[in-house]
Amino acid sequence: MLLFFVACAASPDNAPLLVDTVPYRDGEVLVSVAGDGVAQMGLEDDYGVAEVDRSDEIAVVRLGFDAERPVRDVLAELEGDPRVRFVEPNHLVRGYGLSSDAYVGYQWNLPAVGASEAWGHTTGKGVTVAVIDSGLRTGGPDGITHVGTGWDFYDQDADPKDGNGHGTFVAGTIGQTTNNGTGVAGLAHDATILPIRGLGDDGSGDMAAIANGLVWSVDSGAQVVNMSLGSAYASRTLESACDYAYAHGVTVVAASGNEYATQLSYPAAYESVIAVGAVGRGGNRAGYSNRGTGLDFVAPGGDLSKDEDGDGYADGILQETVEDGAWTYTFWEGTSMAAPHVAAAAALLVADGASGPDEVVELLAATAHDRGAAGYDTSYGYGAIDVGAALAARAGGVTAPDEPAPEEETSTVPTVDRTPPQIRDVSAVTQGRKFTVQWVSDEPATTWVDFTTYGAYGDDTLTTSHALSLTGSTGSTYYFTLRSTDASGNTAASTTYYIRL
């Protein structure tokens, strides 16, 4: 549905200015075509673009053009065409991990998530975890025991070799060889790691590569996917891929981001993804970890600025990886380090018989250690995961930590609120370059206007009456959706509107 807002009143003088500062690939856009191949060929002929690749599973095609041609001009041309469902830049993404000097220390993170208790139930055998990252380097002194045949969506070849170290580190937290008398351990060490390279050696990539890698992972049999990466900019292409995974019963986990922001990065912010923030050794939110509505859990991410146990080592997460071309054991910190703990926990639960993402979330939420404000909150989500307790709860013998035991029940797995708020009564007032968008939700929720070209503007205050004032450019047309997220992290998105100034 398209709604054209006409000028009728003024909005505040201090409204933020829309500025095109979004990082994306030059010379290409991502398009969902409404129609068959004939419609796409017509678009290519009419606008001087050509197919680079496509993902039929989520109905998105990547169209290329002369890199000297401004991306925003192509977006403006395609946005109003009835053959286009949506068009967006190919946003850049990056890994969320920070490294320090290499040394051998303690993996305090494993007892923090109940690893020993979990291993009494399962070690993840039979489950495949796709790690979409900078790839995987094999052959280290410790290594990963079970590795599947992956793919490189960054360079489009069959060799997802890691030239950065980030992906190898993340994969090790999940599947590092354990009980071999060497090095360090992995939380789900008998799971199979499916390496997907979506980030280059510099640790950055783009939405198309990540989305294609996610769809390929699902089609290749992964039951769990970890994405320790993200962007501040939403992508309907990547959201479609996340929804595709969820619809196929795949549990997708992503890092919340390292900007200490009050909004989650993407893809963590999507409803079909489990969003993970980071805590330090003491259990408090790390000084870099993003928070916000939609955050599901926190897990050990490390804090290299502290040595809370006084052992002489900074409290990072220890894993084997490659730095400067050499194998090493090193401490890193970041929500990138936190996310694979949850992905590994999901793998253990799936190996134990959990049926998919909804049951994984319910079990982890029931047994998480509450942090921050009582109950769910936007800094810690449902709390810090305890996969040992989650597996015990699934067996019916343990109640949720930090809660009194029920008198007659043997399981405390709750029903998680999955109902998104309803957006209604949308209206707007404009005058010249200024405009205010307003709507109402049926329960307290956040206020965000998500522009196709410029990204999201808004705040995380929970309210039922929503208004956002902005300043654009006279003569311009802006396409956007409205988004509101309730206290349980359920997100509602409107249909696409446009406003012409």
Quickly name the fold that domain 110-395 has.
Answer: Rossmann fold (3.40.50)
d(CA 325, CA 213): 25
Task: Provide the CA 224 distance to its chain's centre, in angstroms.
Answer: 13
Residue 452 burial (10 A CB sphere; 0-12, 13-18, 19+)? buried
Q: Give the residue numbers annotated as catalytic, written as ranges.
A: 133, 166, 336
pLDDT of residue 244: 97
Sort 64 into a burial class: Cβ within 10 Å, 0-12 / 13-18 / 19+. middle
Query: Model's pTM, two decimal places?
Result: 0.73
Domain with CATH 3.40.50.200 in the chain: 110-395
Our CA angle for 268, 106, 168, nearest 5°, is: 45
- Taking only Cα atoms into account, the Rg of the chain, rounded to an integer number of angstroms, comes to 23
CA distance 295 to 125: 28
Residue in the structure block whose two tokens are 């510099």: 202
The parts of the chain modelled with pLDDT lower than 50 are: 1-21, 99-105, 397-413
Q: What is the DSSP track for 194-262? A: EEEE-B-TTSEEEHHHHHHHHHHHHHTT-SEEEE-EEBSS--HHHHHHHHHHHHTT-EEEEE--SS--S
Contact 342, 387 (CB under 8 A): no
Domain 420-500: homologous superfamily in CATH: Immunoglobulins (2.60.40.10)
Cα–Cα dist 58/72, whole Å: 23
**Region(s) of the chain under CATH 2.60.40.10:** 420-500
Contact 442, 461 (CB under 8 A): no
Burial 13-52 (b: 16+ CB within 10 A, else e): eebeebeeebebbebbbbbbbeeeeeebeebbeebebeeb
197 near 151, Cβ under 8 Å?
Answer: yes
Pairwise CA distance, residues 246 & 243, whole Å:
5
pLDDT in tens, 31-90: 999 988 888 999 999 999 999 999 999 999 999 999 889 998 999 999 989 999 999 999
Parts of the chain belonging to CATH 3.30.70.80: 24-94
Q: What are phi and psi of 159, to 5 degrees?
A: -120, 90
φ and ψ at residue 486, rounded to 5 degrees = -85, 180
Model confidence pLDDT, tens digit, residues 85-134: 999 999 888 776 654 323 334 689 999 999 989 999 999 999 999 999 99
- Report the CATH architecture of 24-94: 2-Layer Sandwich (3.30)
